[in-house]
Structure 1
Amino acid sequence: MPLLIALAISIGVLAVVATFLFLGPLAAFGVQIWQAFVAWACYFHSGGKPASARTTIVCMSFGIVVGALSVMLAGQLGSLGSLAAPVAVGIGAAVIVLAAHIGLLATIPACVYGFACVAGLILLKSVAPVDAIVPSIVSIAIGAGFGWASEALASMLTKKAAPAVA
């Protein structure tokens, strides 16, 4: 089976499972399906191999922490008025880029995805920054797991059967 067809099948089927889990049994834990889908995409953006799960989880988690701290910093910079949030975001962005000197944090886009995911949860759901960290990290870890599972399933679907021995 061609890889694109195998990925369509594996991602489509697993997207049904993920959505069911996030909107059903996992909903009580505050996890977010949209964050999981961002992590799932990040898994493939980071190479789509098993090591990509580590990159996704580590870098996005770092971005989540930096993002939450940036939102908290914006609250402390109230004297800057309308510049408080932009300055806090700028500082957070600079921290992410500078942290790329550390090998595990070198995938800057993945860190930015994490920053955006936690900021989205904080701003859209009015969740306190500290309270947004754990559900965001859990969501992206599950999403990275689904990325790994969809790649593994697609790989199985593309394997050619061994020729029959007569």
Structure 2
Amino acid sequence: MKPYIGVGIAVGALAGVWTQISVELGLITWVAFVAWACFFAAGGNRAGFSKGLAANLSGVIYGWLVALLTSWAQFPGALAIAVALAALAMCLQAGWAPLSFIPGAFAGTAVFFGTQLSFWPSATALVIGAGLGWVSAILGERIQALIGNGPAAPATDEQKRAVETA
């Protein structure tokens, strides 16, 4: 078996549970999957959680600022200028380590616009998605260990240190 079986089982099970719960509670299902993907893309574990989620939430704020600016400035090109300034800011913020995951900021902005400017529902689902990412990584490692093929995915330096100190 490949070393991704554990994480695949964990992600699959949690994705099904999340989908059912989110639909029943009226939460935005797909937004959590964006944050979940950002968790893994940002490196997983604590770093992926904090960098991915911080960048996602900053992106929601940038989207909100774009919407706010364009509600005040209603001239041709206002949206383009606001988006250009937000994109610049999302790249510049990467100079600060907690916000250094540029794709996460763009994903957060896209989520905000994709939810038709729903700030709190977007932010809530992003937080839940990042949490699901972390839980799926932990469960994936445990499942993989149970089936006897080592870690669920290539271990990060943080994972290696945790195993060595355990």
Report the TM-score, using the length of structure 2 for normalisation.
Answer: 0.82
Q: Secondary structure of the equivalent of 2:125? A: helix
1:126 corresponds to: none
In structure 2, how many angstroms separate the alpha carbons of the residues matched to 1:161 and 1:98? 44
Contact 1:75 1:84 in 2 (8 A): no
1:137 corresponds to: 123
Among 107, 110, 114, the alignment partner of 1:116 is 110
Contact 1:2 1:158 in 2 (8 A): no
In structure 2, how many angstroms separate the alpha carbons of the residues matched to 1:18 and 1:11? 10
Aligned-residue identity in percent: 32
Query: Which range moves more in the overlay, 50-59 or 13-22?
Result: 50-59
The amino acid of 1:41's aligned partner reads A
Q: Does 1:19 align with 2:19?
A: yes
The amino acid of 1:150's aligned partner reads S
Q: Does 1:72 align with 2:68?
A: yes
The amino acid of 1:151's aligned partner reads A
In structure 2, how many angstroms separate the alpha carbons of the residues matched to 1:72 and 1:146? 31
Q: Secondary structure of the equivalent of 1:78? A: coil
* Structure 1 unaligned regions, length at least 5: 123-128
The amino acid of 2:144's aligned partner reads T
Residue 161 of structure 1 deviates from its aligned partner by 7.8
Q: Secondary structure of the equivalent of 1:67? A: helix
Q: CA RMSD in A?
A: 1.7
Residue 160 of structure 1 deviates from its aligned partner by 5.4
Among 29, 46, 56, the alignment partner of 1:50 is 46
Residue 115 of structure 1 deviates from its aligned partner by 0.7
Change (3 A) 1:22 1:62: same
Q: Does 1:87 align with 2:73?
A: no
Residue 44 of structure 1 deviates from its aligned partner by 0.5
Contact 2:7 2:144 in 1 (8 A): no
The amino acid of 1:21's aligned partner reads I
Residue 40 of structure 1 deviates from its aligned partner by 0.4
May I ask how many residue pairs the two structures share in their alignment?
Answer: 148
